[in-house]
Structure 1
Amino acid sequence: MSLARRSAVAVAAAAALTLSLTACGGSGAKAAAKNGSGDITVKIMVGGLNKQIYLPVMLAQNLGYFKAQGIDAQLSDEPAGVDAETAMLAGQVDAVVGFYDHNIDLQSKGKATQSVVQLLQAPGEVEMVRTDQADTIKSPADFKGKHLGVTGLGSSTNFLTQYLEAKNGVQPGEATSIAVGAGSTFVAAMDNKQIEAGMTTEPTISMLQQKGLAKPLIDMRTAEGAKAALGGTYPSSCLYLTSSYIQKNPEAVQKLANAFVETLKWIQGHSPAEITDKMPADYYAGVGKDVYVKALENEKAMYSPDGVMPSDGPQTVLNVLSAFDPTVKGRTVDLSKTYTNAYVQKAK
């Protein structure tokens, strides 16, 4: 998607947001349109298409799995999941690939959305500390007075950062979250000493290490690492939509689930090098193909093998959000309404 088109989507989403806030999860959802070939058109916004945590989206496109299902998947890109969420609620896109935690946060705000395919069973995130701060910041307890990079305010990286602060005794306001995006903008924020630490994903992690700018502090690229940091299984990247869109367009949702489940199976049966060969070259231009493959090799286990929500995942995510998010803390959240396995089970 061109920069101009991304900007147009963002502006339109912001303009329509006021109207969306009065609709519980987009209650005015319409029947999905079809293109001239009869394929169902679905506009999907991703919180960073070139991030490895969202790799299944472009992979499904390049493998032809959307097309095979009769889906005209129109992919667009935003650097932070919170911006994609806003665009969907404003009716500018039909679906989002972002972190599952947004569904819980949105329900606490009166919005009805659901995850229908779970792409990752671990966050794939790493808290990176600037190299010259590594002797000072040895745990999240040392975040006091520091500037911490996140993709966007209200993003999942922001959620996880705030949880690490709360868990380690850092009070609200004692650390400052700075929205720095991912990729080159995140690297620049480290290089220019705009932030002392920050949470990001591959291939940004490898870019930082390659340049000697930062070192890992907390690694959540594996299920084990996520459990150690967050207290349990933490499902992250997923395909989610407003509940009204799902109810209005079950055929389109099933076709999307079919494509993603097939993609997850393909990932399990192929090597990181083979997966990388299916990615656009500009996705690894910043680090080089070999480094990209190695990064993918280190975290390939984060991808769900079947798209099913882990049974203990939603409660872990609710526990994390309840530790710091005032809109979630102390409120009753019906986790059963934040996800469904029905579509992936039928796809299997």
Structure 2
Amino acid sequence: MVKRTRWASLLLTAVLMTITAACGTAPVTETAAKPSEAAGTKVEVKTEVKKPEELKTVKFSEVIRSIFYAPHYVAMHKGFFKEEGLNVDMNTAQGSDKGAAALIAGVADISLVGPETAIYIYNQKGDKTLKIFHQLTVKDGSFLLSRTKLDNFKWSDLEGKSIVGWRPGSAPQMVMSSMLQREKVKADVVTNIASPAMAGAFTSGKGDFIQVFEPIASSLEKEGKAYYVAALGQAFGTFPETSYVATADYIKSNPETIQKFVNAVAKGTKWLNTASPDEIAEALTPFFEGTPKDIIIQSIDRYKKQDTWPAVPEITAEQFEILQKMLIENAVLKPEQKLPDMGAVVDMSFVKNIGKGK
């Protein structure tokens, strides 16, 4: 169970990282001699080369590296952020708690995290509030794999078994917990293994099942170390799992930057829905070095089949209600802490302006 004190501790222990961006070049003046209509005379013509528009650097923190967030990587690779005048300086936090802490500490401008973090921070009643401004995914992105091949998998097959899962209070952990409750199944979910070490722990013999994101799921299958049994996103249904979040102060001070950021990601999603598998694999390969092309293609296909990325990246009141209900169900949010107005931590005005203006 995530305790409020745990969040306070994490926020106080955020590690500062200072990132600087390079500036553009200075204007260049060319001087040329041009014959005039009067014979034997020359006129000096000065032509000023326009200075390229300087890109604004945005310090960005992603929760983990996964093909689940493909629209963002597409926007980076295809230059959609640069088209909007932004340079995205990205790092991987390895957890929504750490991504939120980076925002509070000021070492990240925007984080891609579970939207529940905004609710947790709001209930801390601290100096800063986080606001969700773009809903990237509306399904859980994890897949359940088995150590042994199972035909006609049923959730009851997990009874009494061990599952290598995610940290307590994280979105995938809560989805798994809620699925087990829904199916009335008791299983031992291991939640104390750091996300980068989960696959290694499983292949070393830990657990009967493992819950992982792509491309790790497809990679374990291809290596013959695990067998696919279920997609948590399809099984659980609509759930606002991953959002772009910034502090309310940053959004207020940088509305144009937020709008440009949202526009770029929207372009990435649109491109992803029309591009060929080969084109998508080419765009994502730089972010998943060493991952074979067929694994990337299979990963994208799985996420597309469960309608992971909404055409309109908006967290609705209904989705926000689903989120809070799950938080209460998993005892990480007290009923009296439930937010009656999602406007306290949500600002969808930028999403509504996608495609307008520029």
TM (norm. structure 1) is 0.77
Conserved 8 A contact 1:42-1:71: yes
Are 1:17 and 2:11 an aligned pair?
yes
Measure the CA separation in 1 of the matches of 2:9 and 2:326. Answer: 31
Give a deviation string over 1:84-128, Cα, whole Å, max 9, x none: 222222221111112333333433444622221122221222122
* Structure 2 letter corresponding to 1:36: C
* Structure 1 letter corresponding to 2:220: L
Give the equivalent residue in structure 2 for 1:148.
Answer: 164
Give the equivalent residue in structure 2 for 1:36.
Answer: 23
Tell me the number of residue pairs that the alignment of Structure 1 and Structure 2 aligns: 309
Matches within 5 A, 1:1-348: 17-18=11-12, 36-37=23-24, 38-49=54-65, 51-110=66-125, 112-131=129-148, 138-139=154-155, 142=158, 144=160, 146-150=162-166, 152-169=167-184, 175-182=189-196, 185-221=197-233, 225=234, 228-229=235-236, 232-281=237-286, 283=288, 285-286=290-291, 288-300=292-304, 301-333=307-339, 334-348=341-355
How far 1:140 sits from its partner (Å)?
A: 6.7
How far 1:205 sits from its partner (Å)?
A: 1.0
Measure the CA separation in 2 of the matches of 1:138 and 1:82. Answer: 32
Measure the CA separation in 1 of the matches of 2:11 and 2:121. Answer: 14
- For the residue of structure 2 that corresponds to 1:307, the secondary structure is coil
Measure the CA separation in 1 of the matches of 2:238 and 2:9. Answer: 37
Conserved 8 A contact 1:108-1:327: no
Give a deviation string over 1:34-77, Cα, whole Å, max 9, x none: 8624432210001123x111122221111111111111211111
How far 1:330 sits from its partner (Å)?
A: 4.2
Identity of aligned residues (%): 20
- For the residue of structure 1 that corresponds to 2:284, the secondary structure is coil
How far 1:270 sits from its partner (Å)?
A: 1.2
Measure the CA separation in 1 of the matches of 2:271 and 2:59. Answer: 23
TM (norm. structure 2) is 0.75
How far 1:204 sits from its partner (Å)?
A: 0.9
Measure the CA separation in 1 of the matches of 2:313 and 2:55. Answer: 24
How far 1:324 sits from its partner (Å)?
A: 1.0
Measure the CA separation in 1 of the matches of 2:296 and 2:116. Answer: 27
Unpaired segments ≥5 residues, structure 1: 1-13, 21-32
Give a deviation string over 1:222-277, Cα, whole Å, max 9, x none: xxx1xx42xx5212222111222112221211111111112112112212321111
- For the residue of structure 2 that corresponds to 1:312, the secondary structure is helix
Measure the CA separation in 2 of the matches of 1:220 and 1:16. Answer: 28
* Structure 2 letter corresponding to 1:239: Y
Unpaired segments ≥5 residues, structure 2: 1-7, 15-19, 25-53
Conserved 8 A contact 2:73-2:287: no
Moved more, 140-149 or 238-247: 140-149
User: Which structure would you say has the larger Rg?
Assistant: 2
* Structure 2 letter corresponding to 1:63: K
- For the residue of structure 1 that corresponds to 2:145, the secondary structure is strand
- For the residue of structure 2 that corresponds to 1:75, the secondary structure is strand
Conserved 8 A contact 1:102-1:156: no
Give the equivalent residue in structure 2 for 1:29.
Answer: none
Across the aligned residues of Structure 1 and Structure 2, the Cα RMSD in angstroms comes to 3.1
Give a deviation string over 1:139-185, Cα, whole Å, max 9, x none: 278465735322x44432223233334444568x9643132414xx3
How far 1:214 sits from its partner (Å)?
A: 2.5
Measure the CA separation in 2 of the matches of 1:15 and 1:264. Answer: 36
Conserved 8 A contact 1:115-1:239: yes
* Structure 1 letter corresponding to 2:314: V
Rate the CA distance shift 1:178–1:92 in 2: closer, same or farther, 3 A: same
How far 1:338 sits from its partner (Å)?
A: 2.8
